[in-house]
């Protein structure tokens, strides 16, 4: 029973992080689409807009790699810490 609960909690945490990641991807796609529309409307600003887009995409890639590494390497540790604190709460 406890193992089933642990697996369910792990699933919910993983699902939450995946949804958060997907929301970030959707926002990035919308931002890039908006930038394309700005370039269509203001072609003389294409250089500046592209530079900003490149910077933002680089920041996203850095964040994404850290996020994925964090989930891959530390997810079990995060879950164990969370379960430990839940046990402490149940004792009180």
At 6-37, the pLDDT tens digits run: 566 666 777 777 787 788 889 989 999 999 99
Average pLDDT over residues 40-46: 96
For the chain, the domain total comes to 1
Contact 82, 9 (CB under 8 A): yes
Residue in the block written with tokens 């250089």: 47
Long-range contacts of 13-18 (CB under 8 A, 24+ apart): 13/75, 13/78, 13/79, 13/82, 14/71, 14/75, 17/67, 17/71
- Using 50, 70 and 90 to split pLDDT, how confident is the model at 3? low
Query: What pLDDT shows up at residue 21?
Result: 79
Q: Kindly report, residue by residue over 58-74, the tens digit of the pLDDT.
A: 988 888 777 776 666 56
Q: What range does the domain containing 29 cover? A: 2-91
pLDDT at 51 > cutoff 80: yes
Residue in the block written with tokens 């709460």: 89
């Amino acid at each position: 029973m406890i193992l089933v609960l642990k697996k369910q909690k792990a699933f919910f945490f993983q699902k939450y992080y995946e949804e958060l990641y997907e929301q970030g991807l959707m926002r990035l796609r919308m931002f890039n689409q908006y930038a394309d529309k700005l370039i269509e409307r203001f072609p003389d600003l294409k250089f500046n807009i592209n530079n900003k887009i490149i910077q933002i995409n680089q920041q996203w890639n850095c964040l994404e790699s850290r996020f994925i590494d964090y989930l891959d390497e530390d997810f079990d540790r995060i879950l164990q810490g969370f379960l430990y604190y839940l046990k402490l709460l149940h004792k009180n």
